[in-house]
Amino acid sequence: MTEPRKLRIAVIGAGASGIMAVVKLREAGHTDVHVFERASDIGGTWRDNRYPGITCDVPSHLYRYSFAPNPDWSRVCASGTEILAYLRSVYEAQDIARHVTFDVEVREARYAGGRWTLETSKGRQGPFDAVITAMGILRHPLYPDIEGLDTFAGHMFHTGRWDDRVELAGKRVGIIGTGSTSTQIVGAIVDRVGRLSLFQRTPQWIMRLSNVPIPEEEKAAFRRDPALLQQHYARLADEFNSKFAAAVVGQNPRVYARMEQMCVENLERSVADPVLREKLRPNYKVGCKRLIMSDDFYDAIQKPNAELVTDPIVRIEPQGIRTADGRLHPLDVLVLATGYDAHSTFAPMKLYGEGGVDLDSAWKDAAQAYLGVTIPRFPNLFMIGGPNSPIGNFSFLMTAEKQCAYAIDLIGVLAAGKARALAPRVEAMQAFNDAVKAQMSQTVWVSGCQSWYMDRNGNIASWPWTYEHFEKLMDAPDLTHYALTDTV
């Protein structure tokens, strides 16, 4: 075996998981860390998404790093602006800047001779002993395939590319899409615009969550007593993970029944007009699509200047949207709340592993990994948020930190000289993915709806077990599931 050695490590992305990866790598003694960020600032999805009303749908005190508790969250669920400020505070307090190069897009990563070389928009970088991808999953906006999309004469933009220069006051605004983003925007702008038209293809189940301010006395108590803050975090984690998250994967039927009841009651009690109420009623099970948390959407869509349009869109014209009933909906601004391609894990970056194997070819039928972190034939490559990671029903920062710790344990094997390279065995990955498919049948996600959890082949790329099971598997790598080599 090789001698203990100092590793040179690349991290791709300076969003929430990239910042965290640098902190945890340094805690483990790895200081030769280089972060490549395609944008000119940190923050990832919280940098790119700045639409009106943007709010995390996970409680604030659960959406934080374990090493950076924040007693000063202002609301039950934090705004995107507040989360970005939190990430920036950690970035500055931890002196992450010395590791980061901005405005560099990694276009290719290639493994050869036991090391990785990165081809970037500013030339070749490396070689590196290990690579951690921290690129996020919601970064490629999906644009609707609608006739005439490029003919609209007004202002048009995707929610992930919000145009702050466009004034909405008094304007006729149309929104295509009814997911979490859309519902947040509707509540935030309805009182400012002249008229709001929401074009709905599929209604959503909405659970009422009162996003109230956190009292100053509570924040002061958390500042005085960090143990109290930790207790609150643990209580929230137990509520979220053992109840809500377990319910959608079929492990807590009592809580699931209560969730169904709460969503139905929210619709029944909140929407007075029976015709509108039925238009807003989904025909699929609660949680099949990502459950929306809102305390103002139903009120907003019932405002006199708001309209829910359920007739299919036929085409977009210079003056607005034409629906199947022949009606033209005149618009000044068109907002595309049409989501993201959550399954282009690395695109447009290309990855080449052992012997030049191309990841696009390896994943032509489905994106498959071992525990969402590693891939056979791609040694010393570690993903945060890879295929079948727990992205749809947990706090991302909680699960990302667990995956990062798992990856760093494997990097420790390399640093200790126990191997020059490691990658999961094909049979280990296959066994994991077979188990995923078998378990997925127990989840609500396969109950008969289309959602962004599904890839183009109908595979659901989320975590079908409980958080406790995830935590157990992330606790320490089982090295019998890995091929360790001492050769280059």
pLDDT of res. 353 = 97
Can you read off the two tokens belonging to residue 114?
């036991």
Domains in the chain, CATH or no CATH each: 9-42+96-140+341-485 (3.50.50.60), 149-211+234-336 (3.50.50.60)
Per-residue pLDDT of the chain (488 residues; tens, 9 = 90+): 568 899 999 999 999 999 999 999 999 999 999 999 999 999 999 999 999 999 999 999 999 999 999 999 999 999 999 999 999 999 999 999 999 999 999 999 999 999 999 999 999 999 999 999 999 888 889 999 999 999 999 999 999 999 999 999 999 999 999 999 999 999 999 999 999 999 999 999 999 989 999 999 999 999 999 999 999 999 999 988 888 889 999 999 999 999 999 999 999 999 999 999 999 999 999 999 999 999 999 999 999 999 999 999 999 999 999 999 999 999 999 999 999 887 778 889 999 999 999 999 999 888 899 999 999 999 999 999 999 998 777 889 999 999 999 999 999 999 999 999 999 999 999 999 999 999 999 999 999 898 888 887 788 888 999 999 999 999 999 999 999 998 55
Can you read off the two tokens belonging to residue 414?
């390399």
pLDDT of res. 267 = 98
Distance between CA 148 and CA 440 in Å, rounded? 39
Distance between CA 462 and CA 476 in Å, rounded? 21
Which 8-state DSSP code applies to residue 381?
Answer: E
What ranges make up the beta strands (E) of 177-257? Answer: 195-199, 206-207
pLDDT of res. 2 = 63
3-state secondary structure of 352: strand
Cβ atoms of residues 149 and 316 within 8 Å? yes
Distances (CA, A) of 243 to 42, 154, 231: 33, 45, 18
Cβ atoms of residues 80 and 46 within 8 Å? yes
Q: At what angle do helices 226-239 and 216-224 cross, to 10 degrees?
A: 110
Distance between CA 116 and CA 380 in Å, rounded? 8
pLDDT of res. 33 = 98
DSSP letters, 59-123, are: -GGGSS-TTS--TT--BSS-BHHHHHHHHHHHHHHTT-GGGEE-S--EEEEEEETTEEEEEETTE
Residue 144's Cβ-count burial label (10 Å; 0-12, 13-18, 19+) is middle
DSSP letters, 416-483, are: TTS-SEEEE-HHHHHHHHHHHHHHHTTSGGGSS---TTB-TTS-B-S--S-HHHHHHHHSS--GGGEE
Instruction: Supply the pTM of this predicted model.
Output: 0.95
pLDDT of res. 487 = 59
Distance between CA 194 and CA 190 in Å, rounded? 8
Which 8-state DSSP code applies to residue 241?
Answer: I
Cβ atoms of residues 372 and 383 within 8 Å? yes
End-to-end CA distance of the chain: 12
Cβ atoms of residues 435 and 154 within 8 Å? no
